[in-house]
Chain A
Amino acid sequence: MIDIHDLCKFYTVGDERVRALDHATMHIYPHEFVSIIGPSGSGKSTLMNIIGCLDVADAGTYLLDGIPIEDYTENELAHIRNRKIGFVFQSFNLIPKMSAEENIELPLIYRSVPKAERQRRVAEALERVQLTKRAKHQPTELSGGQQQRVAIARALVTKPSLILADEPTGNLDSKTSAEIMDIFHELHDQGNTIVLITHDNDVAKQAKRVIHILDGQLSEVRL
C-alpha cells in the first residue's frame, strides 16, 4: 500500500541545512490502522505531507499503491490526492461560507462526478458521521467535533485508498476526541487503511501498529 524507502527531505533554515527526514523507511499494508508518533519538530509533518502527496521528497522512493510518486507532475499529484487520499486535518480545514454538504461535495466536483451521484454519495457520507441534520449548516455554525466529522465525511466521500489524519483530535476536548477516534475505529473495521499522525501517546496506542519518529528517523514500536 505505502512503501517508503530511504526517503530524505532537507530544509534550509538560514545557513543551516536541516534534515527533516533522514533515510526513512516504512511499509504500510492495506486495511492497516497505523499511527505515527513523534514530538514536534521530529519530521512527522514532513512525512505526512509526503505521504499525502502534498510535497515530494528530495531523495529515496515512495510507492503508493505501487505507483512511484516522485515521477509525477503537479497535475497528476492533484488527481492522486483526489482519488487515493482522504485528508483529515488538526484544524479541520473546511471552506468557510460553504455548507457542510458543499464542503463534502467539493472533491467529487473536482473529480467530475455527475450531480445525482454526488448527492447520493454526500448523503451517504453525512449519514456515516451522523450529521445528516446539519447538512445545510456552515462550518462556523458547527461545534469543533461536528466540524471534524464533516472533514472526515469529506475525506470518505471519494472512497480513498488511504485516510490520512494529522492530529485529528488536537483541537478537541477529550470527550469529542473519543467520539472522533470511535469513528476512525469504525472506519478501520469497515476495511479502510488509516494513517494517524499524533504526538499524543493515548491516541497513538489505539492503533494496531505504532511507528515512532524522531529527528527524521523512523522506528517501529509496539506499545
Chain B
Amino acid sequence: MTLRMALRSIGANKMRAMLTMLGIIIGVVALVVLVSLVNGATSSVTDAVSSLGVDMLTVTVSDDKGLPIDLETLTDWRKTEAAVGLTAPSTTASVTGKYGSDNDSFTVYGTNEFYDDIAGLKLCMGRFLNSADVSSHTRVCVLSYTAATEMIGYTDCVGEQISFDGTKYTVVGVLSDSESITTSMRSNGYTAYIPYPSLMRLSASVTEAVSSFVVSAPEGGSIDDTKNTLNQILLERFNEDDDAFTVSSMNIMQSAMSSITSVLSLLLGGIAGISLVVGGIGIMNIMLVTVTERTREIGIRKAIGATRRTILLQFLTEAVVLCMLGCAIGIFISWTILRIAAVIASGLSMSFTLNGTVVAVAVGFCILIGVVFGLYPANKAAKMKPIDALHYGG
C-alpha cells in the first residue's frame, strides 16, 4: 500500500523524478561499468598468464654443496615423486646466432623434451625436442617465432641450418607467435631451445650440474603441493640450507597483478561511489521540496489518524523507491553499455559481463542512500504538527 502510494506520487511528477534519478543513474552506471570493465580486463589478462605457464616452478640452485643435480636426478624426481609432474632443465647461455650473413645474439635454452609442456609453449611448425635428441645430444634446435621470421625470414624453416657460436644446428621446430610471457620477459633478443647436453658443449659454463630447472605439477595436482615437496627435497639435499636454492612460481606475478587490479577497482568504485552520494543529496533535496509542497497533505493525513510512523514510512518509501528506480535504470543502461563494449572488444579477447557482485553492491548502496538521505526529509514530515500543517498556505 505504501509502495503504491510512493509510486503514485513519483508518477505525479515524472520530469522531476527523472531528473532526480539522473544522479543515481549516473552513479550506478559509473560504478557498475567501471568495475565490470576492470574485472573483464583482469580476467582476460589472468587467463593469459595462467595459460602461459603459471603452473610452473622455476628452481635456481646457487650452491649445490657437492651434490649436484644432473639430468638423471631430474628424471628420478619425475618418476618417483608423486607430487612432482614433469621436470626439465632450463639453463641458458648467450650465444651469437648466424644464418647466412645475419648475425644476432641469441638466448639458448638447454633443456629436454618436457620443457614445452611445462612452460606452455605452442608449436607452429615441426616438433619440439624429443628424448632421442637429448640422449644422443644431437645438434637440433627449436626457434622462437620472432627468431624464425626475422633471422631466417619465414616460419616454414624446418630443416634450415643455423649456427650458434660457429656450431651448426638443424631447425626442427618453430614456436607459435604467442610466446610464453615468461620467456619474452627474460630475454630481449631471439630465443632458441636445444638439448641440454648440446648446450654443455656449446657453453663452457654449463656443466653436468643443472643450475636451473623448471617443474610442473602432476596432472590434477596443485602447484603449491609440488612447491612444498620440492622445497623439502631440496632442503634435505642441501643440509637444510634454504639459501642454497630458490623455488619461484608465477603465482607471485598473478597475486601481484590481482592486488593491482583490486586496488584499481576499489579506486574506480570509490569515485563512482562519490557520484552516487551526490545523487543521494539530489534525492534529499527533492524530498525536502516534496515535503514542503505537501505540508497540507501531511496535515490532512495526520488529522484523519496517520501516526508519525505512517508519515515517516510514506516519505521514506518514496525516497527509497526513487533510488531503486534510478538503480534499476542504471543497471539496465550499464548492461547495454557492457554488451556494446563486449562487441567492440571481442577482437581483444576480453569478455565484459555484468559483474554480479558489483550489481549487488550497487543495489545495496542505493537502498542505503535512499534510507540515509530520505530519513531527514521524512522525519521532518513526520514531526509536523497537524494544526500547523493543516493551516499551511491557507
Q: Is A33 an interface residue (CB 8 A)?
A: no
Chain B residues within an 8 Å CB radius of A93: 296, 299-300, 303, 390
Chain A residues within an 8 Å CB radius of B127: none
Residue of A nearest to B13 (CB): A97
What's the least CB distance linking A169 to chain B, in Å?
18
Q: How far is the CA of A1 from the CA of B8 in the complex (A)?
A: 40
Determine whether the beta carbon of B301 is less than 8 Å from that of A97.
Answer: no
Chain A residues within an 8 Å CB radius of B9: 97
Q: Is A32 an interface residue (CB 8 A)?
A: no
Q: Is B15 an interface residue (CB 8 A)?
A: no
Determine whether the beta carbon of A87 is less than 8 Å from that of B303.
Answer: yes
Contact bitstring B130-155, A, C-beta under 8 A = 1, else 0? 00000000000000000000000000
Determine whether the beta carbon of B305 is less than 8 Å from that of A110.
Answer: yes
Chain A residues within an 8 Å CB radius of B394: 91
Q: How far is the CA of A143 from the CA of B73 in the complex (A)?
A: 103
What's the least CB distance linking B30 to chain A, in Å?
34
Chain B residues within an 8 Å CB radius of A26: none
Determine whether the beta carbon of B308 is less than 8 Å from that of A75.
Answer: yes
Contact bitstring B293-308, A, C-beta under 8 A = 1, else 0? 0001101111111111
Q: Which B residues fall within an 8 A CB radius of A? A: 1, 8-9, 12, 296-297, 299-310, 385-387, 390, 394
Chain A residues within an 8 Å CB radius of B1: 109
Q: Is A18 an interface residue (CB 8 A)?
A: no
Residue of B nearest to A93 (CB): B300
Determine whether the beta carbon of A95 is less than 8 Å from that of B390.
Answer: no
Max count, chain B CB within 10 A of own CB: residue among A78, A79, A81, A97: A78
Determine whether the beta carbon of A79 is less than 8 Å from that of B300.
Answer: no
Sample of 19 further A-B pairs with CB below 8 A, known A54-B303, A91-B394, A93-B299:
A49-B387, A55-B386, A55-B387, A75-B307, A75-B309, A78-B302, A78-B307, A79-B307, A81-B304, A81-B386, A87-B303, A87-B304, A94-B300, A95-B301, A106-B301, A107-B304, A110-B304, A110-B306, A158-B305
Residue of B nearest to A49 (CB): B387
Determine whether the beta carbon of B8 is less than 8 Å from that of A97.
Answer: yes
Residue of A nearest to B389 (CB): A54
Chain B residues within an 8 Å CB radius of A82: 304-305
What's the least CB distance linking B245 to chain A, in Å?
77
Chain B residues within an 8 Å CB radius of A83: 305
Residues 109-124 of A contacting B (Cβ, < 8 Å): 109-111
Chain B residues within an 8 Å CB radius of A186: none
What's the least CB distance linking B313 to chain A, in Å?
11
What's the least CB distance linking A159 to chain B, in Å?
13
Chain A residues within an 8 Å CB radius of B308: 74-75, 78
Query: Could you list some 27 contacts between A and B, CB below 8 A?
Result: A54-B302, A54-B303, A54-B390, A55-B387, A74-B308, A75-B307, A75-B308, A75-B309, A78-B302, A78-B306, A79-B305, A81-B302, A81-B303, A81-B304, A81-B386, A82-B304, A82-B305, A87-B304, A89-B390, A93-B303, A95-B300, A107-B304, A107-B305, A109-B1, A110-B306, A110-B307, A154-B304
Determine whether the beta carbon of A81 is less than 8 Å from that of B305.
Answer: yes
Q: Is A52 an interface residue (CB 8 A)?
A: yes
Q: How far is the CA of A78 from the CA of B300 in the complex (A)?
A: 12
Residues 13-42 of A contacting B (Cβ, < 8 Å): none
Chain B residues within an 8 Å CB radius of A107: 304-305
What's the least CB distance linking A16 to chain B, in Å?
20
Q: How far is the CA of A95 from the CA of B385 in the complex (A)?
A: 18
* Pairs of residues from A and B, 7 with the lowest C-beta to C-beta distance, nearest first: A82-B305, A78-B307, A110-B305, A107-B304, A54-B386, A93-B300, A54-B387
Max count, chain A CB within 10 A of own CB: residue among B9, B303, B309, B390: B303
Determine whether the beta carbon of A78 is less than 8 Å from that of B387.
Answer: no
Residue of B nearest to A81 (CB): B305
Chain A residues within an 8 Å CB radius of B300: 93-95
Residue of B nearest to A111 (CB): B305
Chain A residues within an 8 Å CB radius of B385: 55
Chain A residues within an 8 Å CB radius of B296: 93
Residue of A nearest to B383 (CB): A74
Determine whether the beta carbon of A95 is less than 8 Å from that of B297.
Answer: yes
Chain B residues within an 8 Å CB radius of A87: 303-304
Chain B residues within an 8 Å CB radius of A78: 302, 305-308
Chain A residues within an 8 Å CB radius of B302: 54, 78, 81
